[in-house]
Amino acid sequence: MTLADILKQEQIVVELQAADRWQAIDELIDVLVSCGKIKPEHRDAIVSVVRKREGSMSTGIGFGIGIPHASTDLIGEVVGALGRSTRGVNFDALDNQPVKLVMLFLVPQGQFQKHLHTLANIAKLLHNRDLRQALEQAPGAQDMLQIIKTHAGTK
């Protein structure tokens, strides 16, 4: 499962309002609720499971990237949302740098292999410096999605 498989234009936030990783997680989960990927009544439980995972170790992996993720039985398929912050979000990242691209994803409970493969694919894609720079400079969500599809090899 690649980033291009997970994202639709309405799941991309061009400018996150969040100042820290907790606010970024809330903001991206709210996007998933608003576009029907998460049921509103499951929002708080999903926020809790993502925060618990993030609390055990920051998913700020360096290079301005944060990939908060979790498994939950409250979804039936892999879902995700991408947020960009031009000023950067304090993510307690491994390199102590602000995070500019936050890719939150959720995997159905019990799909460990899919979880690992999705995380690896997203991390590999976002480690591409040209892709990150293009995403940081893209004017809108449609442009960001097209950049992802191009880099993922799915036009």
pLDDT in the model for residue 154: 57
Question: Looking at the annotation, which residues are catalytic?
Answer: 69
| Residue 104 lies in domain | 3-152
The total number of structural domains in the chain stands at 1
CB 100 within 8 A of CB 86: yes
Work out the percent of the chain whose per-residue pLDDT is above 70. Answer: 97
Placement of tokens 């720079």 in the chain: 133
As given in the structure block, the two tokens for residue 4 are 């291009």
As given in the structure block, the two tokens for residue 152 are 């993922």
pLDDT in the model for residue 90: 94
Domain CATH code at residue 127: 3.40.930.10
pTM of the model: 0.94
pLDDT in the model for residue 151: 87
3-state DSSP assignment of residue 100:
strand
**Is residue 1 scored above 80 in pLDDT?**
no
Query: What are the tens digits of pLDDT across the range 81-103?
Result: 999 999 999 999 989 999 999 99
**Is residue 61 scored above 80 in pLDDT?**
yes
Q: What is d(CA 87, CA 106) in angstroms, rounded to the nearest whole number? A: 26
As given in the structure block, the two tokens for residue 40 are 């509103």
Amino acid letter, residue 95 = D
Taking phi over 0 as left and psi of -120 to 50 as alpha, with beta for the rest, 7 belongs to beta
